Amino acid sequence: PRQVHASGTNATWSPDGSKLLFQACRGGSCDWWMSSADGSNPVLAAATKPAPPELWLASGEVLYTDKNKLWTVALSDGQPRR
């Protein structure tokens, strides 16, 4: 194994394997970040997501659970949907 990010947890791969989505707490908030598969070029993907990403779907949405409910977030707009 090799370390891809110095900080971040709960990573999930994009459906094509080219990107990583992970949760990181930086500057007082926990957000979802996206990077290249090798960990380079991290960018903010969705701000202030209290729950970690679980599964990245081919549609571009990410599944996660929060308070025993299943949610999706489209990475294009960061808005949760139930």
Radius of gyration, CA atoms only, the chain? 12
57-73 in b/e form (b: 16+ CB < 10 A) is: eeeeebebeeeeeebbb
pLDDT value of residue 48: 65
Return the pLDDT at 26.
Answer: 77
Q: Mean pLDDT throughout 40-45?
A: 89
pLDDT at 67 over 60: yes
Closest among 57, 81, 55 to 69, alpha carbons compared:
81
Does residue 6 surpass a pLDDT of 60? Answer: no
**Which pTM does this prediction carry?**
0.79
pLDDT of residue 22 exceeding 50: yes
